[in-house]
Structure 1
């Protein structure tokens, strides 16, 4: 049976386990989802506003384990703490380490870029949405299958933030997918990515050697 639980640690997070999960059965794929600035706080229910944690509330057949950490009020994503959380999750749960995926929105898009750049060996694929990152470190993620989303009319995070990252990865020899919504605003980018683009099916096609 699918279930969602709350885990309080150095990084508090929601953990959703798919119906297919078994501690001794076949390992399951994992999505790490990083929320935006509006979901910060101490109430983990806030992270259910968007993306995978919202989807699993309605779809118990979602085929991934989903881990959705939360940033306290006034703070930003911290990649070292997230790595510690991820190590804990991988040790605690029966997860397929060849199929660990990372995505985030807005502030979480920035967090996803940073986490992937610092610890690229963890991830089979990433999908940063309306975020941005350090273009000078694009070489570190050029080998990770990457799908980036942004709205051209985003008035919170300029589309150029994503465009610069995509250009830097391509210049380093990578081949990221880039979806720009010509009429899309800030929220539109992740609504499209999670509800319409086939992102999760694409994730399942990616795995580490």
Structure 2
């Protein structure tokens, strides 16, 4: 089943609008009783704007575009120009709610990932809604260590390039170290030769998806 472009336009306390790509696995229609795991993907700063096709440049939507059998429902929203994911939390959660209401999503297997600006967004959204995610995979992002307590029970696998000259490795290290100090459920992969693009290798790694699917909410 091909990836389709859609728009959320919803009134909550304010009106929120987000364009997004939706991927349904190829077997979605042929297995009408099955509930599917879902991945929410947050792109980096370079894909902001009003052309949702830009979101396919990297990461989960790129993979889903190339592989119709990608075995997750995937939501890939586009952040508006001059905004950041931390400013779009209401819209992201409204989008997630709409997709859950419309499609056969397994509520115990909802996963969150993002790269660069989206890596920061994934950390932040995990901290704001810690009970929502079965597992989180932030890539070359970061968060202040003071939020560690809020996310210590979420399975997290963070990724970063050691030679990143856009988002320093220390951005991931400080929150990972804080989580390790309080017994958080965290893994950390550092690519010794990678610069800012630590996402291509990460999203190409089948172990990531096996790891995600090994976690579900109780």
Shorter-chain TM range is over 0.9
Instruction: Report the alpha carbon displacement of residue 135 of structure 1 after superposing the two structures with TM.
Output: 1.5
Q: 2: CA distance between counterparts of 1:197 and 1:98?
A: 21
The correspondence of residues 130-149 of structure 1 with structure 2, limited to 5 A, is 130-149=140-159
Q: 1: CA distance between counterparts of 2:108 and 2:27?
A: 17
Note the alpha carbon deviations across 1:104-158, whole angstroms, 9 max, x for none: 0000000001101000111000000000113111111111111000001000000
Q: 2: CA distance between counterparts of 1:63 and 1:113?
A: 24
Instruction: Report the alpha carbon displacement of residue 196 of structure 1 after superposing the two structures with TM.
Output: 2.8
Q: 2: CA distance between counterparts of 1:86 and 1:120?
A: 14
**Which contiguous aligned blocks of 4+ residues in structure 1 show a shift greater than 3 angstroms?**
none
Q: 2: CA distance between counterparts of 1:175 and 1:120?
A: 13
Q: Which runs of 5+ in 2 are unaligned?
A: 9-16
Aligned counterpart in structure 1 of residue 50 of structure 2, from 26, 32, 42: 42
> What's the C-alpha RMSD, in Å, of the aligned pairs?
1.2
Alignment TM-score, normalising by the size of structure 2: 0.91
Alignment of 1:53 onto 2:52: no
Instruction: Report the alpha carbon displacement of residue 197 of structure 1 after superposing the two structures with TM.
Output: 5.9
**Residue of structure 2 in register with 1:18 after alignment:** 25
Instruction: Report the alpha carbon displacement of residue 21 of structure 1 after superposing the two structures with TM.
Output: 1.5
Note the alpha carbon deviations across 1:63-100, whole angstroms, 9 max, x for none: 00110000111111122221111111111111001100
Instruction: Report the alpha carbon displacement of residue 202 of structure 1 after superposing the two structures with TM.
Output: 1.1
- The total of aligned residue pairs comes to 207
